[in-house]
Amino acid sequence: MNPITSANAPRAAEHAPRRVLQRDSLAVRLVLFAVLLVAATAGLIGSLAYTRARHALDREARTRLAIIAREVAQTLDREIADRAADVTSWAHLGVMRAVMYDDVDKELAQFIRQFVSGGQAYVGILCLDASGRRVAAAGDVEALASASGEFEERSASGPLAVSLVTGADEHSRLLRFEASIIDPDRGDEGIGLLLVLADPRRLLLAAEKALGAAGTHLSFELRLRDGRRTVVSVVGPASRAVVDDARAPQAPPLLGTATVQHELADGGQLDVVVTEPVSEALAAVTKLRGALLKRVSVVLLLGAALGGVVAWRIGEPIRRLTDTVREITQRGLSQTQWTFETRAGEVGLLAAAFRAMTERLAVAQAEAVMQSRLALLGEIAANVAHEVRNPLSILKTSAQLLARRELPASEQRQLAAAVISEVDRLNGVVTDLVDLARPKPATYRLEALPDIVRRAGAFLAPTARKQRIELEERIEADVPRFHGNADQVYQVVLNVVHNSLQAISSTGRIVMRCRRDADWVVLEVEDTGPGFAPEILSKAFMRFCTTKPDGTGLGLAISRRIVEEHGGTIVAENMPSGGARVRLQLRARTET
């Protein structure tokens, strides 16, 4: 419920949206506060949720990659152990006795060729006799030739050794399995060397396939334990698509590391490194971020709407109260109708306090009006006594002389004319006092000030010509109309111009300027007279203020009351070049 319902509620409602949307209005500030509060809260909660989810998913992804790396390392360790067992088993077979013969053995060559062409990880197999002579070979001849030179100084006996060697391509690395060929008939006596080259990439692919990681975003690398050299890497097709997309900078990938337990001949070890792009590992968090942004946007809209509703409910009673105060200021307490409704909260307290204030103000205003009327009556009585006493004395003396009938007829006629003149003057004084104390009700409508100025100029033109005073009218085009009473404003113009005529003894000029000034219709009356005396200027519009011997001092006071009743202003001033200026302005109206 609204605490105040004013008589100007329709007009206030018409302009309320414009006031509500002003930058400094309470509604705008409340909406901005609600939006900022909701944005800060939602942003903080969303940021915390996103950060925690990202950290949790990051830990989970790293743990998962470490587990995969450990499983790949274990699988790769088994693959290397299986290949080592194969090489050891082959070295003890009877077919290997062919290395003791001086000729190349076809049976041995066929035996080793079946393992190279069997689709396994073997790249090449080479059999050497005790002197280092090649007896049989199968597979990558260039890789075998590159690796066989390293066996020329090796003894044809000793345990199986696994090491890394460079393949035919200087950038490729191969696993070299080296075992002594044992003569079955002579126990542990070595009769030659068996060299087997295996591709670690195939072993890594086999481990990847065994874990079901093929075709994913995971990438696998086999590195030396020191971390300075990569033996082989396998990049999944899905991960390669992410790496090849260079539209945005890529963050360092997440990785998991595990060590292959099988040691190399030089004492080194191999590490399995499993990597995954951050964009894929944290894809769920990216989706969560998008969902959070959407929800935050919805929350912001709801917060703004809720803030607008709350601001409107809080501000509407205050706006109505403001409209009532403005109406009281413009129209006065007696011309304003309003009612106060009971309302809880601060606005209700404000409305109750305002009601009490207006009631006390109305009482004080009524008392002030009464005191003013009493003072005015006293002042009027004093002035009436002053203005009437002298004429009454003259009338009494004239009546006594006329009653004796001792004067000649001509003097009697002069005396009668003087009596009539004094009676007329007394009637004028009484009329002015009545008009001032009890103004007549007037009907307001749209009027044209230029027409009123021309009417006054035409009426006073004969008097001005008689005094040899130039009366000039300067009226601009398109002067808007005002809402008021033409007869009352005409009386104001007559009073002002008549005062100027009286101030100029003879031979002068009076200019009436009528123009528009923003939202006002302005009339300026300038004369070339002596101007206002300094002690009179500040109280020129007060009652009974006059410097003329026969003046009542009510003309300008009545003029000010009329102008103020029309919602305008009237001021007097002295011009720097000499003479006086009276400025009258009324509110312009454009409606028809």
Computed over every residue of the chain, the mean pLDDT equals: 75
Residue 449 pLDDT grade (very low, low, confident, very high; cuts 50, 70, 90): very high
What stretches of 327-459 adopt beta strand conformation (E)? 338-340, 445-447
Angstrom distance (rounded) from CA 562 to CA 556: 10
What local confidence, expressed as pLDDT, does residue 428 receive?
65
Sign of the CA dihedral running 218, 224, 230, 231: negative
HEC string for 110-150: HHHHHHHCCCCCEEEEEEEECCCCEEEEEECHHHHHHHHHH
What local confidence, expressed as pLDDT, does residue 569 receive?
92
What local confidence, expressed as pLDDT, does residue 333 receive?
62
Angstrom distance (rounded) from CA 588 to CA 568: 10
First-to-last CA distance in the chain? 37
Of 197-211, 224-238, 274-288, 440-454, the range with the lowest mean pLDDT is 224-238
Q: How much of the chain is in helix, strand and coil states, percent to nearest 5? A: 55, 20, 25
Angstrom distance (rounded) from CA 255 to CA 473: 97
| 389 has pLDDT over 90 | no
What local confidence, expressed as pLDDT, does residue 119 receive?
64
| 452 has pLDDT over 70 | yes
Please give the average per-residue pLDDT across 339-362, as a whole number.
Answer: 71
Angstrom distance (rounded) from CA 209 to CA 328: 90
What local confidence, expressed as pLDDT, does residue 530 receive?
85
Please give the average per-residue pLDDT across 483-512, as a whole number.
Answer: 87
Query: Element (H or E) spanning 474, and its range?
Result: strand 469-475
Angstrom distance (rounded) from CA 460 to CA 454: 10
Position of tokens 């391509």? 169
- Asked if 550 contacts 429 with a C-beta cutoff of 8 angstroms, the reply is no
Residue 440 pLDDT grade (very low, low, confident, very high; cuts 50, 70, 90): low
Angstrom distance (rounded) from CA 343 to CA 355: 13
What local confidence, expressed as pLDDT, does residue 584 receive?
93
- Asked if 162 contacts 177 with a C-beta cutoff of 8 angstroms, the reply is yes
Residue 158, token pair as written in the block:
């000793």
Residue 246 pLDDT grade (very low, low, confident, very high; cuts 50, 70, 90): very low
- The helix/strand count (H/E) of the chain reads as 14, 18
Position of tokens 């044992």? 182
Percent of the chain clearing pLDDT 90 (strictly above): 7
pLDDT tens figures, 191-230 = 888 888 888 888 878 777 776 654 467 777 878 876 556 7
**247 burial class (0-12, 13-18, 19+ CB within 10 angstroms)?**
exposed
Percent of the chain clearing pLDDT 70 (strictly above): 69
More confident of the two residues 497 and 39: 497
pLDDT tens figures, 304-329 = 787 777 777 777 777 777 777 777 76
| 58 has pLDDT over 70 | yes
Residue type, 460: L
Phi, psi of 33, rounded to the nearest 5 degrees: -65, -45
**424 burial class (0-12, 13-18, 19+ CB within 10 angstroms)?**
exposed
Residue 2 pLDDT grade (very low, low, confident, very high; cuts 50, 70, 90): very low
Residue type, 287: K
Cα angle, residue 121 at apex, residues 116 and 122 outer, rounded to 5°: 35
Please give the average per-residue pLDDT across 133-153, as a whole number.
Answer: 66
| 238 has pLDDT over 50 | no
| 285 has pLDDT over 50 | yes
| 553 has pLDDT over 70 | no
What local confidence, expressed as pLDDT, does residue 479 receive?
92
What local confidence, expressed as pLDDT, does residue 520 receive?
93
Position of tokens 């005015």? 376
- Asked if 452 contacts 490 with a C-beta cutoff of 8 angstroms, the reply is yes
Which domains does the chain show, CATH number per domain? 346-435 (1.10.287.130), 440-589 (3.30.565.10)
Residue 474 pLDDT grade (very low, low, confident, very high; cuts 50, 70, 90): very high
Q: At a CB cut-off of 8 Å and minimum separation 6, what does 581 contact?
A: 524, 525, 526, 572, 573, 574, 575
Of 54-58, 267-271, 537-541, the range with the lowest mean pLDDT is 537-541
Residue 516 pLDDT grade (very low, low, confident, very high; cuts 50, 70, 90): very high
Please give the average per-residue pLDDT across 58-68, as a whole number.
Answer: 86
Phi, psi of 492, rounded to the nearest 5 degrees: -60, -45
More confident of the two residues 151 and 394: 394
| 482 has pLDDT over 90 | yes
Distances (CA, A) of 195 to 87, 448, 472: 8, 122, 131
